[in-house]
Structure 1
């Protein structure tokens, strides 16, 4: 199985993409356990996010640490899941991120639940949504 993170190349985006992108606060990236530990995907998403977010991108401390979502883990082990999420939220707060880009649905749900409660001005967005927002929905060059 391949992930969208493996197919997107920063060179596929025109140099004007960042200029057309909506302005906003700090952007960071959370590595899902599946992508970074299972598939070895680390560099690719950061390269694209850096190209599109520019100076607004900041590396998330402990970005490869689990957020506590882990599929059904958040539902079967809510106490442990909550403790893991609290650590992730502290790291997000430490970089004052307004947007946390994620590649996994369980991470998206988990991190957004925590952000709504602790930092309502911030949001987690899926990688594909971030790409769409930052490029204005414009197609990538072939």
Structure 2
């Protein structure tokens, strides 16, 4: 359950911090586990903004993330459902996505680009091995490129 405390908002066992991203249907928050201090990203999705087809796609994505475990694919730690909202507790990528890396560093050296492409290929291979495809690859996609 989400609630406000004197120190901020709480979702499940997590203290929610600042916003780290947003999309058409969700907002992503930085958070920490109240006991362990583990950093996570919480993707908050308002279900009322999703039509039936998008809700089915979301549930399919959640199902996939539950069963895939690979260092180059973002990890789903928990799902917290509330009336009208679902919170996906995801692995926190402190380095951000590839787009942020390029913005911070400008040009990317060939060796670094090769390393990133090898990580991307490894993640895509796991998806392919599970008869899955990713139809929306872009620099903002959160394959774990930097730990």
Fold-level similarity (TM above 0.5): no
Q: TM-score under structure 2 normalisation?
A: 0.34
More strand by share: 2
Give 1 or 2 for the bigger CA radius of gyration.
2
More helix by share: 1
